[in-house]
Chain A
Amino acid sequence: MLSLFLDLLHDAFFSAIPALGFAILFNVPQRYLGYCALAGALGHSARTLLMHVNMPIEWATFAAAALVGVITIQFAKRHLAPPLMYAVAAIIPMVPGTYAFNTVIALIQLTAQSQVSPELSAQVIVNGLKTVFILGALAVGLALPSLLYYRNRPII
């Protein structure tokens, strides 16, 4: 139990850094940077927790992105700032970087060879599908609160 807690804390710390970094890259005003980092940390550690209870990564990402959506809308209401400002920086740590990279590498290797090898094709398909579905889960999960709850009302 303690080790799980420490794992989550470790996870939260190392995902808060990229969220902060990308918030700076997107020129988020200084007083909101901490909230971007907080939302990023909560989102990524929520995903780790869900994956710990054996949820597939796509569904865990979807739930975590929805959580980030809810949290960032609360931030937005409090600060009168657009919610996507927090949300995009916050979901950056969950972007499927390794899957996307492995897809590309396998594709390049497949191109370099003269015949189609089943191992490389399998690698392209498996990693490519993971990438696409995780990205979709991130984007749709983020839009979920405004689709289900806010519908046509303005958030702020």
Chain B
Amino acid sequence: MYADNQNDITRLVVRSAQLLLAYGADSDLVEELSQRLGKALGLASVELSISSNALVLTSLVHGRCITTTRRIRAHGINMMVVCELQRLCLLTEKGVYGANEVRRRLARIKPKTYPAKIVIPIIGISCASFCHLFGGDLMACILTFVASSIGMAVRLYFSKRHYNLLVNFAITAFVTNVVAQLGYIFPLTDTPQVTLAASVLMLVPGFPLINAISDMVKGHINVGISRWGNASLLTLASVIGITIAMQLGGIF
């Protein structure tokens, strides 16, 4: 393998690892996939060092090392990208794709998201079913649907304009809670408390939390702790939004 060839392949591998981390894969998966992809493309070994916002990768062929660093900016969770990369790795391993094909595929990966007109109502219905599971009556469920749909619309609005995620979560929690408090002001429902609890559940940082534990359990302690810190901060931001809304509403 020639030197420029190793350069090229290393770039492909580090690009796939960067995409995986940016769109929310856990460290174990990133490490496994990039090592397998590298070996399938002819590298002797691939070693990774992952931290919370950067990635260092070294590839080795014939006693010659190339080390490269990439900055990682979190782009939110997108499982389509992760799925696509997993498939790419497996097909390369089976010998279906060569380096050129991998390059073409990597360049073609676009993070597609579901349109807002699907996401907003489905999240509203999800929170309404939470409300039902927690024992709310019908009016409480409807109120939850309205509150969390409005909240989700606010969240999408702010994330589209690239606001800080913490600010976004605080504002979303505030708006959702304000709408949900209508159950206290008007005698619509007997269980206004359940509405308040269920409507903000769309802000649960599920992926950072599960990735954090999954990383820490499998030995990536520092990435796990930073993800844990991130999840806690997001929760704290939502709590601040809820607190402000409830103090203004004068519920206690």
Contact = CB atoms under 8 A, between A and B. Distances in A.
A118 interface: no
Interface in A1-39: 11, 14-15, 17-18, 20-22, 24-29, 32
B226 interface: no
Nearest to A84: B26
Contacts of B87: 80-81
A84 B129 contact: no
Interface string A90-120: 0111010110011011001100100000000
B90 A93 contact: no
B210 interface: yes
B132 interface: yes
B31 to A, nearest CB: 11
A27 B206 contact: no
Contact of B197 (A25, A28, A98, A140): A98
B78 interface: yes
Interface string B7-20: 00000000000000
A60 interface: no
Q: Which 5 A-B pairs have the closest CB atoms?
A: A21-B126, A139-B213, A101-B197, A18-B126, A17-B129
Given A20-B122, A91-B210, 11 more contacts: A18-B130, A21-B126, A22-B206, A25-B202, A26-B77, A27-B79, A84-B210, A97-B201, A101-B196, A136-B213, A139-B217
A104 B247 CA distance: 13
Contacts of B217: 139-140, 143, 147
Contacts of B32: 154
Interface in B27-58: 29, 32, 36
A14 B133 contact: yes
Nearest to B90: A80
Contacts of A82: 25, 29, 79, 82-83, 86
Contacts of B204: 92, 95, 97
A139 B210 contact: yes
Contact of A143 (B206, B213, B239): B213
A17 to B, nearest CB: 4
* Max chain B Cβ within 10 angstroms of own Cβ: one of A15, A20, A156: A156
The size class of the interface chain B forms with chain A is: 35 or more
B108 interface: no
Contacts of A26: 24, 77-79, 207
Nearest to B210: A88
Interface of A: 11, 14-15, 17-18, 20-22, 24-29, 32, 80-82, 84-85, 87-89, 91-93, 95, 97-98, 101-102, 104-105, 108-109, 112, 135-136, 138-140, 142-143, 146-147, 154, 156
B218 interface: yes
A27 B196 CA distance: 26
B214 interface: yes
Nearest to B238: A104
B252 interface: yes
Given A28-B80, A81-B86, A135 B114 contact: no
A97 B198 contact: yes
Interface string B65-82: 000000000000111101
A61 B79 CA distance: 25
B126 A142 contact: no
